[in-house]
């Protein structure tokens, strides 16, 4: 029996590789979002620790350190704001890539359905050919038997 060959198998395989690549891109963006979140958390944690230590100080030393703390806090808040914007951009990129992945998966699903339909049609055609060959063989045998009995 012949082997089933579908013309669009290469397209389906390419879409599968594209799907894997897009998943890897989404994973990389998600990892970057986690890294940014950790940076934000680290900055906030340092500010809390510095604020706590500042509260423990007294008098003139506190006034001197408080000015430095406020300056550092202002810089840290700017950094947190920038990281927040970066996170928002990364989230937008992740959503775009997720939408692209969904589209790729839809096209893969359509191609797989087309492949299954083509394979089913091919199988039915092969069964018809085999049945015809079997019928022809049986007809030939019957004709030879009848020809042998007639002699």
Domain boundaries, the chain: 9-110
* Dist CA 39 CA 85 (whole Å): 13
Contact criterion met (CB below 8 Å) for 108 and 1 = no
* Dist CA 8 CA 128 (whole Å): 24
pLDDT at residue 150 above 70?
no
Q: How confident is the model at residue 1 (pLDDT cuts 50, 70, 90)?
A: low
Nearest to 42 by CA among 2, 79, 96, 68: 79
Helix (H) / strand (E) containing 81: helix 59-150
Q: Kindly state the average pLDDT of the residues 107-136.
A: 95
* Dist CA 131 CA 122 (whole Å): 14
- What's the residue count for the chain? 151
Sign, CA dihedral 89-91-96-101, equals: positive
* Dist CA 40 CA 30 (whole Å): 15
Q: How confident is the model at residue 16 (pLDDT cuts 50, 70, 90)?
A: very high
- CB burial of residue 53 (10 Å; 0-12, 13-18, 19+): exposed
Q: Kindly state the average pLDDT of the residues 37-44.
A: 96
pLDDT score at 32: 98
């Amino acid at each position: 029996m012949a082997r089933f060959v579908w013309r669009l198998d290469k397209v389906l395989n390419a879409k599968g590789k594209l799907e894997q690549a897009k998943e890897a891109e989404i994973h990389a963006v998600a990892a970057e979002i986690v890294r940014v979140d950790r940076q934000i958390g680290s900055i906030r944690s340092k500010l809390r620790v510095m604020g706590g230590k500042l509260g423990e100080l007294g008098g003139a030393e506190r006034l001197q350190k408080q000015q430095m703390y406020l300056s550092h806090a202002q810089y840290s808040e700017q950094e947190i704001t920038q990281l927040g914007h970066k996170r928002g951009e990364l989230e937008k990129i992740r959503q775009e890539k997720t939408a692209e992945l969904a589209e790729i998966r839809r096209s893969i699903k359509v191609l797989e359905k087309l492949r299954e339909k083509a394979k089913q049609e091919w199988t039915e055609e092969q069964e018809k050919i085999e049945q015809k060959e079997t019928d022809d063989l049986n007809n030939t045998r019957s004709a030879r038997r009848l020809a042998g009995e007639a002699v």
